Amino acid sequence: MVNTQLFQTLRGVMLPATTARNAEQAPAYAFDARHQLAQFAATGCLNQTFYASADAQLDAVQALAQEVDASFVAKTAIHARERGHMKDMPALLAAGLAVRDVALLSQVFPRVIDDGKMLRNFVQILRSGAVGRKSLGTRPKKLVQQWLLTANEKQLLHAAVGNAPSLADVVKMVHPKPTQAWRASWFAWLIGQAVDEAALPPITQAFERFKRDIATGVVGEVPDVPFQMLSALNLSAEQWAGIARKGSWQMVRQNLNTFARHGVFEIPGMAEVIAAKLRDPQAVSKARVMPYQLMAAFKTAGESVPAVVRDALQDAMELALVKVPTFAGNVVVCPDVSGSMGSPVTGYRDSATSAMRCIDVAALVAAAVLRKHPQARVVPFAESVRKFAMNPRDSVMTNAQALASLGGGGTNCSAPLAELNRQRAAVDLLILVSDNESWVDANGRGATQTMREWELLKQRNPNARMVCIDVQPNASTQAAERHDILNVGGFSDAVFTTMATFASGKMNADHWVGEIENVSLTAQ
């Protein structure tokens, strides 16, 4: 008699057999080259992660960029920068176009290399030889020159902060030829040449006067320059308070502990001033802040940061998530809280490693959805489902921190689906947030256990859809792409918009890759 365990009669659609092995050597479904590139661009920061080295990520991205059409590379760079707010990966993809298709590079350059930090990243990647050349080349050199010759004084000053390369290195490399006298004087000042101070633009003049005043003990007005240019000076608490007042929203968010160390919060009223800036709706929107950045600031704020400022970060979080849609029907969010999710979301970077872990991002997604959809269920999992109750009336920050405290254990992406099937739960939208490296539920052949459980769930809920959010740069998934399954990478607020489009049935068969394909190379 035939072995009925091997040859069971299947109900529903035929499930696809796995096509790859994940980092845990468990069966998985490989993304195609375009999806893999998009995944790396949306989540990769070219740093060591739990499963991949920085070198391995670089090699993978370069190989994929050669395999797909150059136009898709260009669109991916734009999407990763404009919607994902990424830095290193878009600069790398743009640098690759400098070798492969300079005409496309010219089209995407203003949208990808949109500030001084991105400009220095782009130049460093090219001159490193990592993309196959060590010189900029004629057209890339002209694009860099154009940025230098059109940036205003404040943009140039911000670009001048940082090394490897410094902006002075870039200027010496490309030799811009300014037609404006102030710009010529500014470049001379930047590279250390003698220059008439009166010929410098106003903010730079103010900076030079301020340095002289500090040296002679005169208390002058703090100039409107990047605070890094002032940090080596012997500033008073009042002067640091001036920096906080004039600083950008992002700069203030990133330097709360610095202000505390320099006595800013000891000045009457300053805590309230900074809190007002952090919770200002227009400032939050303009800053393009990612929710995980706010959670990082909240997590790292020391005891010397006043409660009113910490509360303002929570208010800002609510504002940052105002665009999170309300999904229809029965919504279930399944955050992965396994051990591998305890790694930094942007990878290990020596002393600059982020305090935010993958588990924090997963918890944040769950808390954000619960905030807008109080009836949603949250089913955390590791090797099995973890019992946990979240109060939708609590703040997003509070719920996210509580959920993230569950971390540890192996990864079993099918566990929450199996639990929902056991309960015969009604599901319209299931959101699974993970690093996708499931191994506890590995089976020897056929489909993954996640796909098997999903098919059982679909028999009860034929219109259900599943979104798998991957927060790490991986090349495989536990849920094969099809009309009712979306695989998307990233941890910006753009992911919520993509989920809403898919859940409403408005996303085409290519899903996320199709969204990137729809990026216009000419739109500004």
- Predicted local confidence at residue 476, as pLDDT: 92
Pairing type for strands 465-470 and 377-378 reads unpaired
d(CA 454, CA 511): 18
The number of beta carbons lying within 10 Å of the beta carbon of residue 69 is: 13
- Predicted local confidence at residue 396, as pLDDT: 84
Write the DSSP assignment of 74-100 as a string of letters: HHHHHHHHHTT--SHHHHHHHHHHHHH
C-alpha distances in Å from residue 324, one per residue of 253, 392, 444: 22, 15, 39
d(CA 178, CA 355): 42
Place of tokens 């952090």: 278
**Three-state DSSP state, 344:** strand
d(CA 107, CA 48): 31
- Predicted local confidence at residue 443, as pLDDT: 83
Write the DSSP assignment of 349-391 as a string of letters: -GGG--S-BHHHHHHHHHHHHHHH-TT-EE--BSSSBPP----
Q: Which structure tokens are listed for 400? A: 């996210």
Amino acid (one-letter) located at 494: A
Amino acid (one-letter) located at 207: F
d(CA 237, CA 253): 18
Q: Which of 106, 113, 495, 132 is nearest to 321 (CA)?
A: 495
Which strand (E) or helix (H) includes residue 434?
strand 429-434
Residues 6+ apart with CB under 8 A from 3: none
Place of tokens 């694009």: 143
CA terminus-to-terminus distance, the chain: 67
- Predicted local confidence at residue 3, as pLDDT: 55
The number of beta carbons lying within 10 Å of the beta carbon of residue 478 is: 31
Return the DSSP state at 338: S
- Contact assessment for residue 481 and residue 35, using Cβ atoms and an 8 Å cutoff: yes
- Predicted local confidence at residue 256, as pLDDT: 96
Omega before residue 110 within 30° of 0, cis:
no
Write the DSSP assignment of 436-471 as a string of letters: ----TT--SSSS-HHHHHHHHHHHH-TT-EEEEEE-
- Predicted local confidence at residue 355, as pLDDT: 73
Counted residue by residue, the chain has a size of: 524
Place of tokens 């365990």: 5
Pairing type for strands 20-21 and 377-378 reads unpaired
Amino acid (one-letter) located at 236: S
Pairing type for strands 20-21 and 27-30 reads antiparallel
For residue 466, list its beta bridge partners.
Answer: 430, 485
* Domains (range + CATH), the chain: 34-198 (no CATH), 236-320 (no CATH), 322-517 (3.40.50.410)
pTM of the shown model? 0.88
What is the maximum span of the chain, computed from C-alpha positions, in angstroms?
Answer: 98
For residue 342, list its beta bridge partners.
Answer: none
- Predicted local confidence at residue 107, as pLDDT: 95
d(CA 117, CA 80): 16
Q: Which of 440, 468, 448 is nearest to 339 (CA)?
A: 440
pLDDT profile of the chain (524 residues), mean per 10: 50 79 92 92 80 84 95 96 90 95 96 96 93 90 97 96 94 96 97 95 95 81 88 88 91 94 96 96 86 85 94 91 84 95 81 76 89 92 93 86 89 97 97 93 89 96 95 90 91 82 82 90 72
Strand order in the sheet with 331-335: 377-378, 331-335, 429-434, 465-470, 485-489
- Contact assessment for residue 433 and residue 334, using Cβ atoms and an 8 Å cutoff: yes
